[in-house]
Amino acid sequence: MQRKPNEDFIDGYCEKFAAKVSTNFFKSGRQVITGKQILNVTPSKQVNFFVIKLLFRYWQEETKKLESPFFNYKHEEVRSAIVQFMNVLSQHIEIEHERFELLLNHAVKDTIYLAAMPQAYVEIDLDSRGVDQIHDKAIEGTVKYLNIYKKKIFKFLSDMKGLTIDDVVDELPDEFSEFDTTDAVEELCGQLAPILEISIEKIYSEDPYTDDFDEDDLPEPGEEDLVEAPVRPEKTAPEMQIGHTEMKVSVEDNIMKDEEIEEDLFVRPVSKRTEKKERPSESVSSEKEEEEQSPAEHHESRMKDSKILELISINHRYLFIKELFRNDKHEFEQALRELEKYNSFDESVEFLVQSYARHNEWDMQSDEVKEFLKVLFRRFR
C-alpha cells in the first residue's frame, strides 16, 4: 500500500523551495548558473540530477529540430561535426535566474514523488519516453539519473528485460505495493529541511493509504511552468554548499560521483574515431541532449516554441488520459494537436467543449478539467 501525497502542500513547497534556492544563488550578482554548479545546487543529489535530466529532455527535442529535408544529417561527416559542436556547447551550459527556478521547481517535485511513490515514477517514466519493450537502453534511460531506489529499480527492470511495457505495468503493483518508502522520504526531508522546513507528515495527505495505486492521485511535477517562464540558476550559495558536503545519503543507493556526472554530461571532447562509434548509439545523442539543451538562449527559444504537451507534467498526462479521454492516449494526443491550431484561450476552450467535453461527458467542475484548462491558460496567456 502506498500513502497518498498531499498535492497542495507539495506544489506550494516546491515553488517556495525553488524560489529560495534561486534567490540565494543569484543575490550575489550572478547572472547565470553553469552545468557544474547545478551538481551542487541543493543538498539533495537526486534533485540536482533531475535538473540535469530535464536539460537532457529538452535537448532531445532540440536535436529533432536540426534535421532538414534538404540535407543529409545522417552522413558520417555531418554527424561528426555535430558531435564536436555539441561537445563545445555542453561545456558552456548557462541558465538564467527565472528559467533555473522553474527547472528546480520541477526537479524537486519529481524527487518527492519518486521517494514517496516509486511505482508511479517507473510507470510514468517509461511511458513518457515511449518505451514499448524493456531493453538495456530503456533501463539506462530510467535509472541513469536516479540516486533514490537506483538498485531496486534497476534490478526490477533487469528482471523484466524482454517484456513489453504492459507486462511491466502489470508487475509493478506486486513489486512495489508493500514497499516501505518511509526511510527514503524521511531522509529526503532531512536534506531539504535546512533550506525550507518540510516533514514526512506534511508530504502525505490525511487520507491514509491507497490499496491500488492510481496515477491520477499524483500531482504535476511543474513541467508546465518549466516551459513558460524563464528558468533560474542553481543555488550554490556558500551556506548551501556546506550543507551539501555534510549531508548523509545512505538511502540514495549507488550514487554517482559528481566527477562522473561532470565527465558524462559536461566534458565530452570527442575525436573523430569516438564520434563514429557513438553516432549510432542513443548514448551520444542523449548526452548531447542533456548538455546542450541548457544554454539560456536555447531554453528561451524552446519555451516560446513549446507545444501544449510539453506544458503538461507526466503525472497529469495520465490523469487527463484516464479521466478526460476515456483512457485513449491517441484521442488525447489528437486533441492536443487540434488545440495547437488555435490562437486564444477562449477559442481552445470552445473547441474542447464542442469536440470532447460533451462526447466524453466531462464534469466541468472536476479537478481534472480545471487542471487541463489551467494548462491551456498558461499556453495562451
Which pTM was predicted? 0.60
Instruction: Express each pLDDT in 103-127 by its tens digit.
Output: 999 999 999 999 999 988 898 889 8
C-alpha cell read off for 31? 547572472
- Return d(Cα 365, Cα 317) in angstroms, integer: 19
C-alpha cell read off for 40? 551542487
226-229 contacts at long range (C-beta below 8 A, 24 or more positions apart): 226/54, 226/102, 226/103, 226/105, 226/106, 226/303, 227/302, 227/303, 227/306, 227/310, 227/311, 228/102, 228/303, 228/306, 228/311, 228/378, 229/98, 229/99, 229/101, 229/102, 229/303
**Residue 4, C-beta contacts closer than 8 angstroms, at least 6 positions apart:** 204, 205, 207, 208, 209, 210, 217
33 with 25: CB under 8 angstroms? yes
- Return d(Cα 46, Cα 256) in angstroms, integer: 10
- Return d(Cα 142, Cα 156) in angstroms, integer: 11
95 with 52: CB under 8 angstroms? no
Confidence class for position 262, pLDDT limits 50, 70, 90:
low
Q: What is the DSSP letter of 218?
A: P
Rounded to 10°, the helix 165-176/118-128 angle is: 170
**Residue 79, C-beta contacts closer than 8 angstroms, at least 6 positions apart:** 73, 275, 279
Characterise 31 by phi-psi region: left (phi > 0), alpha (psi -120 to 50), beta (else). Answer: alpha
Q: What is the mean pLDDT of the chain?
A: 76
Confidence class for position 66, pLDDT limits 50, 70, 90:
confident
**Residue 119, C-beta contacts closer than 8 angstroms, at least 6 positions apart:** 2, 172, 173, 175, 176, 177, 179, 213
pLDDT at residue 183, rounded to an integer: 94
Asked whether the predicted pLDDT for residue 48 surpasses 60, the reply is: yes
Q: Give the SS3 label for residue 243.
A: helix
Asked whether the predicted pLDDT for residue 255 surpasses 70, the reply is: no
Q: In angstroms, how far is CA 41 from the centroid of its own chain?
A: 16
Q: Closest Cα partner for 374 from 81, 11, 9?
A: 11
99 with 228: CB under 8 angstroms? no
Single-letter residue type at 306: S
- Return d(Cα 327, Cα 321) in angstroms, integer: 5
How many C-beta atoms lie closer than 10 Å to residue 243's C-beta? 15
Q: Give the SS3 label for residue 33.
A: strand
Confidence class for position 30, pLDDT limits 50, 70, 90:
very high
pLDDT at residue 207, rounded to an integer: 56
Asked whether the predicted pLDDT for residue 158 surpasses 70, the reply is: yes
- Return d(Cα 212, Cα 156) in angstroms, integer: 19
Instruction: Express each pLDDT in 263-283 by its tens digit.
Output: 555 444 444 444 433 433 343
318 with 215: CB under 8 angstroms? yes
C-alpha cell read off for 135? 531493453
Angle CA 340–343–345, to nearest 5: 90
